[in-house]
Chains A and B, each alone.
Chain A
Amino acid sequence: GEDVEQSLFLSVREGDSSVINCTYTDSSSTYLYWYKQEPGAGLQLLTYIFSNMDMKQDQRLTVLLNKKDKHLSLRIADTQTGDSAIYFCAEFPTDKLIFGTGTRLQVFP
């Protein structure tokens, strides 16, 4: 199957860490991605992780990959109001991206 699932909503206080979770089904994906979508806009690639890695850190972003459980997470440190958006994980098993259901992150002061 090609189901990629995420929790729908996450609310955090400014300055706290956010953790967005994703489960995927196709273990053949070479890369797994995180995209950000601001209101009324297209998608922006935030970061990605190669499937043979467990963790990748990129400034405030940390991606953790558990291949055994097919679980991917995105941690945003020191979350800011500008981080409020919808976050999509995506797998790339063949020649097309399969997007998750999206997690709406709301950051409050």
Chain B
Amino acid sequence: GAVVSQHPSRVICKSGTSVKIECRSLDFQATTMFWYRQFPKQSLMLMATSNEGSKATYEQGVEKDKFLINHASLTLSTLTVTSAHPEDSSFYICSARGGLAGDEQFFGPGTRLTVL
């Protein structure tokens, strides 16, 4: 299957700082990328959907000014957690679909964010 990478895999930051997480589709062009958040022992919660070149669509309850999403190219989307607080600590997973990959969504390995 197609490969989606995330960087970093793990990040620890101080409260009040901003953290950027990258999601890349390595062998296909992702017209759509999704960002999920997963709390311990819980399901994935969709945060936003981004289409290349346009603004992201955020799910209800997700603050767009806090979770900035940029999908500037067909292989890269970034999620920036601005002014992070301990309650933002979570596992963030991206997925991508599009191009020759068809309708299937391919998931990245996730990024563990810990805010101290």
A→B interface (CB under 8 Å): 8, 35, 40-45, 88, 95-97, 99-102, 104
A-contact 0/1 string along B1-22, CB 8 Å cutoff:
1001010000000000000000
CA A88 – CA B4 in complex, angstroms?
19
A88 contacts B107, CB within 8 Å? Answer: no
A40 touches B93 (CB 8 A): no
- Known pairs A88-B44, A101-B42 / 4 extra A-B pairs, C-beta < 8 Å: A40-B112, A42-B6, A95-B49, A97-B34
CA distance A88 to B95 in the complex (A): 15
Contact code string B87-109 (vs A, CB < 8 Å = 1, else 0):
00000010100000000111111
Collect the chain B residues with CB atoms within 8 Å of residue A45's CB: 1, 104-106
Asked whether B43 lies within 8 Å of A40 as measured between CB atoms, the reply is: no
Cα(A100)–Cα(B38), bound, Å: 12
Q: Shortest distance in angstroms between A7's beta carbon and chain B's nearest beta carbon?
A: 13
Q: Are B46 and A97 in contact (CB under 8 A)?
A: yes
Interface centre among B34, B42, B44, B110 (most CB of A within 10 A): B44
Cross-chain pairs A/B with CB under 8 angstroms, 9 sampled: A41-B109, A42-B6, A42-B108, A43-B93, A88-B43, A88-B44, A97-B34, A102-B41, A102-B42
Residues of A within 8 A of B109 (CB): 41-42
Expressed in whole angstroms, the minimum distance between the Cβ of A34 and any Cβ of chain B is: 13
Residues of B near A96 (CB, < 8 A) are: 34, 46, 49
Give the docked Cα–Cα distance between A41 and B112 (Å): 10
Q: Which of B6, B49, B107 contacts A44 (CB 8 A)?
A: B107
A41 touches B110 (CB 8 A): yes
Complex Cα spacing A99 to B41, Å: 13
Question: Within the assembled complex, what's the spacing in Å between the Cα atoms of A69 and B52?
Answer: 39
Chain A positions within 8 Å of B108 at CB level:
42
- State A77–B104 Cα separation when bound (angstroms): 25
Tell me if B43 and A101 are in contact (CB < 8 A): yes
Closest Cβ–Cβ distance, residue B55 to chain A (whole Å): 16
Chain B residues contacting A101 (CB-CB under 8 Å) are 42-43
Determine whether the beta carbon of A40 is less than 8 Å from that of B44.
no
In the docked arrangement, what's the CA distance between A62 and B76, Å? 36
